[in-house]
Each structure stands twice: as structure tokens, then as C-alpha cells.
Amino acid sequence: MSWGSTRNLRLLLNTSNFRQAATIAFICLLVALMSMVFSNHLLEIVMRSHVRDMILTDIRSQQLHGRLTEARNVAAALTYRQPFELRKDRHSIVFDSADQPLYGDARLMPRDNCPAPCASNWRHAELRDSRGRTMEILGLVVPLSDGGQYFSAYDLRPMLERTRIIPLLASASLLIILLSIMLISLPFSIRNLSRINRIRDALGRYASGDHSAMVPHDRQGDEFDQLGNEINQGLHRINRLMDEVQNITSHIAHELRTPLTRLQGRLWNVAEMVDGAARDELQRAIQDGERIQNLFRAVMRIAEVETGRCAHQFEPIHARQLLEDIREYYLPLAEERACELVIQTADDCQLYGDRALLFQALANLIDNALKYGPTGKPITLAIHNLHGWSRISVSDQGNGIPHPLNDKAIERFQRLDTSGDTPGNGLGLTLTKAIADLHGGELTLEDNQPGLRAILRIRALQRD
């Protein structure tokens, strides 16, 4: 069985519909087993009571006809009646006054289970006959007038074996019914699982950027259709709010971009007209304006990636070629800091995602490594595929980040270096995380011992 079939079977068995049916079947099975044990015990009690009644009826009938007098007369009567006895489980034994057997198998007379004198004439014990077969004897000892004894008994084992068939048949029938219930529940489980998969597929496509994805449903359907309708209404509201946010931010961007550009142009013109300290102040104002524009563009870019509204196209990407391109792009800055950019990946390694977005994510990670890593230490760029995931990592040998602050470093506008000596706005890792989320993956930070290792994990290219 393939991994996909095993996974589908596991999902099917984990559906609430099948688990409910299995739970009901299990409870009914326990009840059936308890009922079988109880009914079997009850039948044994009823059977023993019935045998006692038969023995008492037989003895009273013989006493009524005056047959239970002397031992030899009783033995003769039993010998005469033996050819006409139809029940093989009935046993009669006659002893004389000297306790010698005159009729029947004396070994079937229980003697050792009753301390002398016995408080009751009833005898009940398991014995073996002349053939070695185990017998459960239940009988009554009747004293005779000449000092002899008459023992009338039945073997309960054949009777109990016949009565035990009843609860066994009932339990087997109930077991078949329970298995039928579970088999009947399978089609319903398969249908519900398929409907859940359609909901998950629609939500997955929506999360990947397809905001036209909706859950198929029937307005007059059951609870799954009602859930689908509620999900669709929620997605419609999200789309409307996102459109409003996009319109507002686009309007703000349009309204701010032109005044900021004009402001920078006028500052440049004024800076050309003056010298000395005034010119330096104007240039610093121009740089602040550029930082504001860069910050605004970064926030807009993060919003586009997080909402999936940025242009993106997933396709197979040659991993080594991507790393070669990013190394070539950052090579001048790396040489300026005497940092070697080391590439570690297999020649046939491939990624699956948007090349421009992954390039931007790697650029953010390398930019951080160059800014915070030590001069003259190598920076390692690595891509490996393992267990259906692609692991893209950038490792430096700097001071790293304390482990409790790893999650905080990824948050928006969070800068652990607050000295102001290093340029930045605290959005690089946030944008990288948004790109990882868009690819169905995650961004994590680990200790490189020494330094920091930033890992971008996305789904690998699935090969047929």
C-alpha cells in the first residue's frame, strides 16, 4: 500500500462519523459480551433449578407408587426400566445397607465434597466416568427403609453446552450487525471526508492568493453546507475589507509619493544653493525623506505579500543558479567587507516557488548577515531538500541572537540593535516571513555556534 493510500485510509478512519460508529459498535460489543456472560450464568442457574425440579418430581412419583422401599427392589425396577430410558444424561445409583452398589456406576456418586454428616442430601460435583469423560453431576440421595440409598442424578454438562449455543448465536448475530453498521458508515465517512477536503482545498487556495476560491455548498443542505456558506460569507467580508485597505493604502501612497518626491527635489535645489552646515543639514533631511519612502515601500510590499495580492507565479527553480545569482548581486558588498559567500547545494537540487520573491527573501537574509556579521568571516548559503521540504539557509559567524529573542526578531519593526549605527527599519525578516508563509512554509532562526542561521523552509518540488 502506497503512502498516499495509507494517509487517505488514516484520514478516513479519523473522521468523526466513522469514530462515532466505531464507538457505538464498541460499546454495543461490550454490552453484548457482558450480556453473554450474564445470560450464560443465568441459564446455568435456571438449568440447575430445572434439573432439581425434575429429580424431585421423579422421586416423588416413585414414592407415590411405593417403589422406594428396599434397595434390591429399587435396583430391579431400574434394571427393568433401563431399556426404555431415553435420556443419556440421567444416572441412577442404588446402594445396599453395606454401601455396596447394586445398580449404576458408583464412581458417579460424589462423596468427598461433603463433610460427614452432610447437611443436605443434594450432591453436586465434577467427576469422570468409566471412559474418562468429565461430567458435572447434580443429584439427590434418598435413604431407603432397609438402610440402602438411592441416588438420582443428571449430567449437567450436555445440557449446559446446548444452552450456551443460544447466547453465542445471539452474540454472533449482534457482532455481524455491528460490523454491518461500521461498513454502512464507511460511505458516509468517505462522503464527509470528501466534503471536508473540498473545504480545505478552497481555504488552501485562498491562503495561497486565489481570493476567488469559494467553498461549494448547497443552501438547503446539511451542517457541512451551512458551514461552507458561513465560510464563504467570511471570505467575502475579508475580500471586501482587503479591497478597502488596498484602496486606502493605494490612495495614501499616491498622495504621499508625489509630495515626498517634490520635497526631496526642492531640498536638493536648496542644497545646491547653500554651503557649509546648512548644506549638510539639507542632505541629512534628504536622506531622512528617502528612508521614509523606503519604509513606506517596505510596508506596502509586506502587505501585498501577506495578502497574496503581489504578482507571483510558482514554478521549478534551479537552486544552484538562484544562489549563484544572489551571490553575484551581493559580491561587491561582500568583497568590501572581506566576507566570502559560500554556496552549499546539490547540482540537481530544485525549488518550487516564485523566483523573484525567493530572491528577495534571500537578499533580506544576506543583507542582515553582512550588516551584523563580522568582517572577514564567510557567509554560507545552502539549499537542501529533505522529507518533502526545501530548506534554504543563510549562516553567519557573528554574535547571533539570544534564543528567547528569535521570535521577537521576526516581528514587524523589531530591531534588537537600537544603537542607530546600523541602517534598517526592522522589516526585512518580517517580509521574509511573509514570503515563507505565501509558499506554505516558515522562517526560523537558529544558533549557528557561533553566529546566526536563518532558515526559510518551503514545500519541495514533488517529482512523479
C-alpha cell at 172: 454472533
The CA distance from 326 to 318, in Å, is 13
Q: What is the mean pLDDT of residues 424-444?
A: 78
Q: Please state whether 449 falls in left (phi above 0), alpha (psi between -120 and 50) or beta.
A: left
Parallel/antiparallel/unpaired status of strands 315-318 and 442-447: unpaired
Q: Please state whether 387 falls in left (phi above 0), alpha (psi between -120 and 50) or beta.
A: left
Q: Please state whether 376 falls in left (phi above 0), alpha (psi between -120 and 50) or beta.
A: left
Amino acid at 312: H
Strands, E, within 51-112: which ranges? Answer: 90-95, 101-103
Helices (runs of H) and strands (runs of E) counted in the chain: 10, 12
Q: Strand, helix or coil at 81?
A: helix
Is the pLDDT confidence value at 418 over 60? no
pLDDT digits (tens, 9 = 90+) for 259-298: 777 877 777 887 778 777 777 787 777 777 776 766 666 6
Q: H helices within 274-377, ranges in order? A: 277-307, 319-336, 355-372
Look at 244 and 209; give whichever has higher pLDDT. 244
Q: Where are the domains of the chain?
A: 223-307, 315-459
Give the pLDDT confidence score for residue 349 in this predicted structure.
87
The CA distance from 438 to 354, in Å, is 10
Percent of the chain at pLDDT above 90?
1
The CA distance from 51 to 156, in Å, is 8
149 pLDDT tier (thresholds 50, 70, 90) = confident
Span 315-459: which CATH code? 3.30.565.10
Give the pLDDT confidence score for residue 421 in this predicted structure.
53
Smallest CA-to-CA distance from 371 within 300, 432, 425, 450 is with: 425
Give the pLDDT confidence score for residue 1 in this predicted structure.
47
Amino acid at 396: D
pLDDT digits (tens, 9 = 90+) for 443-458: 888 888 888 888 888 8
Q: What is the mean pLDDT of residues 11-22?
A: 65
Look at 258 and 45; give whichever has higher pLDDT. 45
3 pLDDT tier (thresholds 50, 70, 90) = very low
Smallest CA-to-CA distance from 289 within 261, 318, 254 is with: 261
Is the pLDDT confidence value at 118 over 50? yes
Residue length, the chain? Answer: 464
413 pLDDT tier (thresholds 50, 70, 90) = low
pTM (predicted TM-score) = 0.45
Q: What is the mean pLDDT of residues 311-316?
A: 76
Percent of the chain at pLDDT above 70?
79
CA torsion sign for 199, 205, 206, 207 is positive
Look at 338 and 248; give whichever has higher pLDDT. 338
Q: Are 445 and 432 in contact (CB under 8 A)?
A: no
Q: What's the mean pLDDT when you consider all of the chain?
A: 77
DSSP 272-295: HH--THHHHHHHHHHHHHHHHHHH
C-alpha cell at 265: 527635489
Q: Are 359 and 322 in contact (CB under 8 A)?
A: yes
Give the pLDDT confidence score for residue 266 in this predicted structure.
79
DSSP 159-189: HHHHHHHHHHHHHHHHHHHHHHHHHHHHHHH
Beta bridge pairs of residue 453: 395, 446
Q: What is the mean pLDDT of residues 25-31?
A: 75
Percent of the chain as helix, strand, coil, to the nearest 5? 55, 15, 25
The CA distance from 106 to 395, in Å, is 96
Vertex 101, ends 95 and 106: CA angle to 5°?
105
Amino acid at 186: L
Burial class (CB in 10 A: 0-12, 13-18, 19+), 320: middle
The CA distance from 138 to 136, in Å, is 7
